Each structure stands twice: as structure tokens, then as C-alpha cells.
Amino acid sequence: MDAAFIERRSMVRTIWGDPELVLLIFAGAAAEFALNRAVDWLFYTNNLPKDPIGRLFTTVRYAQQIVFASETNAQSTLDSISAVHAALEKRRGQRIPDWAYRDVLYMLIDYSARAHRLLRGPLNSAQEESLYAGFLQVGHGLHIPELPANVSEWRQDRQLHLQRDLVYSPYTESLLERYRLQLGWWRYQMLLEIQALLTPPRVRELLQLKPKRLLVGSCLHAYSAIGSAGLRGLVLKALMPSEYWKQLESLNTRVP
């Protein structure tokens, strides 16, 4: 029997098997990615600005096909992702910079931990190591060079990337407007409040996000206290436009 690509007790599986945490991860990553200096690559294909929420769910499906898959199937998905990137590079006549790949991987690591801290509590050191080890395996599967060997080295490099690779640009403005149009006014305001609690200081500074911890913290506490999965599902649906409800339900899918 083919072994699991990510160790079954890994924190990557624990976090990415929780639809509520996955949505928080992408709420935070949506803010930071809009600031990334390499975001023009997704504007080149028009996939991100055309449908950023749909792009979110596509990314989640790819992630789950890696995280919950066997070694063979996960590597097949990783190879498919690499092939898509190679075709895009050929079409544009440029290479996607290595630092951009690291930026995306670092975002997934960081916001996984931040989402868990916000909704479930902080990770301990062993859980942090487990989370990083799982994503390091994904990074190696994508052939991303110069990845830090451990959590401590990653934290240092993460800070360097945050200072060097983020800028408020016309792409940022365009993406934020697209989020607002897709979500509607009140959902967009809720997204901003959640992003203000999730994102690092550098992101909050560039986007001028000011967390209202009492208001949003109370809402998250109330949400955590809801014991019924059905009630939680209704709350999640209320936070997502109806055309994405089926894709929201698919977050519960596990890849063998």
C-alpha cells in the first residue's frame, strides 16, 4: 500500500482538514497576496482578478489533493502544478522567481498557525515543528530551492520576505476592489476585520488594517461555542455568496 505523503498525525492534516481553519487561512493569505510583488503573474492569466473566490477554492482542492493523498498521488499533483507554472513561464517568456514560490509556501505555513491560534488556540513547539515539516515536504515536492531547514530559520526568513516582497500597488487596489464586489459590502467588512486579526504587522501597516479585537474576538468566541456542525455550516454559508456554497461544502472532502 502506498504510504501517505504527509504523515497522518501531522498538524498539516489536522489544520487543513478543518474547513473553518482553511477559510481563515485564505482570509489572511488574500490580504498578503494582494501585496506581493509577484502577484502580476496571476493577473497575466486573469484567473485571480476574474474570480478570486473561485481561485481560493481551486487552491484548496489542490492543497487537499496533496495533504490527504498517498505519496504517488500527491507527487502527481505537485508535478501537475509545476507543469502549469512551466507552461505559464514559457507563454510569458519569463521565469517565476524562486522567492515568489517561497513567499506562497511561507504564507500557507504562517496563516495555518495564525488561524489555529485565533480559533483553536496557539500551537506548541512540537506542533509548530510538525506543521513546518509537513509543508517543507510540499516545498521539496515542488522543487522550491533554499528552504530553511527548521522552524527557527524559517521564522527569520519569513520576516525578511515580509519586508522585501510586499508593496501596495495598482494590483493590490484592483484585487481589493474585486473582493469587495464579489463579497458585497458587509461580508467585505467582516473579511477586513478578520484580516486585521490574522495578518502580521507589516501587512496591517500596508493595508491600514486596525483590529477591533473586542468585536471580532467576541464573534469568534461565540462561533467556537456553537456545538452543532449544522449551525456552524449555516454561519459559514452566511459569510459566503450563495454561488460558492457547493464549493464550501466540498471543503469537508477528504482525499484517501
Mean pLDDT over 54-62 rounds to: 82
CB proximity list for 158: less than 8 A, separation 6 or greater? 106, 109, 110
Q: Is the pLDDT of residue 243 over 90?
A: no
Which residues form the domain of 206?
Answer: 11-252
| 21 located within any domain | yes
CB 215 within 8 A of CB 223: no
Q: Is the pLDDT of residue 253 over 70?
A: no
| 153 located within any domain | yes
Q: How far apart are CA 226 and CA 190, in angstroms?
A: 19
CB proximity list for 115: less than 8 A, separation 6 or greater? 15, 21, 22, 24, 25, 28, 198
Angle (CA) 176 217 64, round 5°: 60
- Could you tell me the three cell numbers for 42? 496571476
Q: Is the pLDDT of residue 158 over 60?
A: yes
The number of distinct structural domains making up the chain is 1
| 228 located within any domain | yes
Q: Is the pLDDT of residue 254 over 60?
A: no
pLDDT score recorded for residue 34: 93
For residues 140, 142, 146 and 147, what is the CA-based torsion angle, rounded to 10 degrees?
Answer: -60
AA identity, residue 64: Q
pLDDT score recorded for residue 50: 75
Of residues 35, 32, 34, 28, the one with CA closest to residue 197: 28
> What backbone phi and psi angles, to 5 degrees, belong to 146?
60, 40
| 208 located within any domain | yes
pLDDT score recorded for residue 218: 56
pLDDT score recorded for residue 114: 95
Residue 61's pLDDT band, with cuts at 50, 70 and 90, is confident
In the chain, how long is the greatest CA-to-CA distance?
Answer: 52
The CA distances from residue 154 to 74, 128, 132, 175, in Å, are: 24, 11, 9, 28
Mean pLDDT of the chain, nearest integer: 85
pLDDT score recorded for residue 1: 58
Q: Is the pLDDT of residue 237 over 80?
A: no
Q: Is the pLDDT of residue 217 over 70?
A: no
pLDDT score recorded for residue 20: 83
pLDDT score recorded for residue 83: 94
Q: How far apart are CA 152 and CA 20, in angstroms?
A: 27
| 170 located within any domain | yes
Q: Is the pLDDT of residue 123 over 50?
A: yes
The CA distances from residue 172 to 101, 139, 177, 248, in Å, are: 19, 26, 9, 25
Q: How many other C-beta atoms are found inside a 10 Å radius of the C-beta of residue 21?
A: 21
Q: Which tens digits make up the pLDDT trace of 173-212?
A: 999 999 999 888 988 888 888 899 899 999 999 999 987 7
Residue 37's pLDDT band, with cuts at 50, 70 and 90, is very high
Q: Is the pLDDT of residue 255 over 50?
A: no
CB 78 within 8 A of CB 138: yes
Q: Is the pLDDT of residue 153 over 50?
A: yes
| 3 located within any domain | no
- Could you tell me the three cell numbers for 77? 499533483
Q: Which tens digits make up the pLDDT trace of 67-106?
A: 999 999 999 999 999 999 999 999 999 999 999 999 999 9
Give the residue carrying C-alpha cell 490574522: 198
Most confident of 35-44, 87-96, 225-234: 87-96
Q: Is the pLDDT of residue 228 over 60?
A: no
| 199 located within any domain | yes
| 111 located within any domain | yes
Mean pLDDT over 23-50 rounds to: 85
